[in-house]
Amino acid sequence: MNESATIDRRQRRMVETASRLTSISRRLTAEHGLGGFTIEELCDEVGVSRRTFFNYFPTKEDAVIGADPEAESQVFAEQFRARGSRGWPVVIDDLLELAIQHFGAMEGTAEEHAHFFAALDREPRLLKRFIGMNIEREKQVIALVAEREGVTTDDLRAQAVVHILFSLLRSVGDRLHGLAGPTDLASLLTESLAAARTVMAAPTPRKAQP
Amino acid sequence: MNESATIDRRQRRMVETASRLTSISRRLTAEHGLGGFTIEELCDEVGVSRRTFFNYFPTKEDAVIGADPEAESQVFAEQFRARGSRGWPVVIDDLLELAIQHFGAMEGTAEEHAHFFAALDREPRLLKRFIGMNIEREKQVIALVAEREGVTTDDLRAQAVVHILFSLLRSVGDRLHGLAGPTDLASLLTESLAAARTVMAAPTPRKAQP
């Protein structure tokens, strides 16, 4: 018990250090560009050694992009599978609920968001990496949905539900960005989902399907 | 009658020249990067003078991005308004039908698509401009939808329907890109819309709304 508490504490500290390196490097990139600060300056602000930096990230660019939450993604996938297939209409609810649970806390403040987007705006090659990473994540989630629902990854429903999920997450990101204070991610996403369902309702009364 | 026929012919020729400058500049950028060819080389391939080039585009980068179909967008907006508000569920149908009519023919072949994406991949600052342009277009369409449906531009339904429209157009773009030959844009979009409606159906039986 004592040993696992120590491991937990250590893991939590590592996640925090990585997250601070990312947060400060985003602000510095937003303010000065990638070439406008050194790894040493970043480490000084965060209060870690240069050696510690390289335990987390191979380059400054990687620090700005941030650590890939690999372990979190695994848990996300397991929990999504465990819920089991219950028809297409619940897939988006499952995805959003799990996304709120897993990634909600990691999203940071509106100010951090603003710094990140300013950094992407200032450095097109970061933007390119970020987009590539998002396309990769979309593909992973499409594969996960396809697997659970028993279809192939080129199934249009699997693709549509994941594209809509990401567009909901992006639009909520935009709104957080536009707002001043901290906001409730879950209620923003629930509102956006309800709006998306309203505009995607069938325009004429649907016939009963056999 | 004769005079307007001459104007039409001239306008058509101008659109064609702009479109060929864009098409060839995309291929050259995909192959050699923006710095890997001159405006003179581009003009030689297209068979126009350097002076003609500058009638269409201020820079090479602008040629790759392509002419903004301002006149087309105006007609699109007028036709969308003219259909009138008939409830949220028909908005996406109206948008897609008009998008197919107006922009379908301008989309080019799968090969041109591939060149464009290769050019964006090679030159992150083109990617940045392209994304900025798309965000601008999304905003314009959100304003158009909000106006017709009598809501403000921060209405979540207006935002959701436009985000989903663009995500459908993008996903069909990806599929055209993946396919070898020419394909039927309209049927691809109709299939994708039906898939999106399936996954966005209410998960529990809906109660009658007053």
Q: Which of B155, B171, B199 sits opposite A91 (nearest CB)?
A: B199
Q: In the prediction, which pLDDT does B106 show?
A: 52
| Cα distance between residue B114 and residue B50, in whole Å | 26
**Lowest model confidence (mean pLDDT) among A88-97, A181-190, B56-65:** A181-190
| Cα distance between residue B156 and residue B159, in whole Å | 5
pLDDT at A55 over 60: yes
As separate numbers, helices (DSSP H) first and strands (DSSP E) second, chain B gives 10, 0
Looking at chain A, which residue has its C-alpha nearest residue B192?
A: A156
| Cα distance between residue B45 and residue B53, in whole Å | 12
Which domains does chain A carry?
1-67 (1.10.10.60), 68-201 (1.10.357.10)
ipTM of the complex as predicted: 0.82
Taking residues A154-181, what's their average pLDDT? 83
Q: In the prediction, which pLDDT does A206 show?
A: 45
Instruction: Express as a percent the part of chain B with pLDDT over 90.
Output: 59
Residues in chain B: 210
CB–CB contact B124 A128 (8 Å): yes
The one-letter code for the residue type at B115 is H
**Quick one: tokens of A190?**
């629930």
Q: Which residues contact B77 (CB under 8 A, 6 or more apart)?
A: B144
CB–CB contact B128 A131 (8 Å): no
- Are A123 and A37 spatial neighbours (Cβ–Cβ below 8 Å)? no
Q: What is the pLDDT of residues B157-177, one digit of tens each?
A: 999 999 999 999 888 877 766
Q: What is the pLDDT of residues B62-82, one digit of tens each?
A: 999 988 777 778 999 999 999
Instruction: Express as a percent the part of chain B with pLDDT over 70.
Output: 86
pTM: predicted TM-score of the whole model, two decimal places? 0.84
| Cα distance between residue B91 and residue B164, in whole Å | 11
Note the Cα A63 to chain centre separation in Å.
Answer: 15
Q: In the prediction, which pLDDT does A105 show?
A: 54
The one-letter code for the residue type at B38 is T
Q: Is A156 on the interface with B (CB under 8 A)?
A: yes
Q: Which residues contact A197 (CB under 8 A, 6 or more apart)?
A: B200, B201, B202
Q: Which of B89, B131, B171 sits opposite A199 (nearest CB)?
A: B89
Q: Which residues contact A127 (CB under 8 A, 6 or more apart)?
A: A120, A121, B124, B127, B128, B131
Taking residues A122-135, what's their average pLDDT? 90
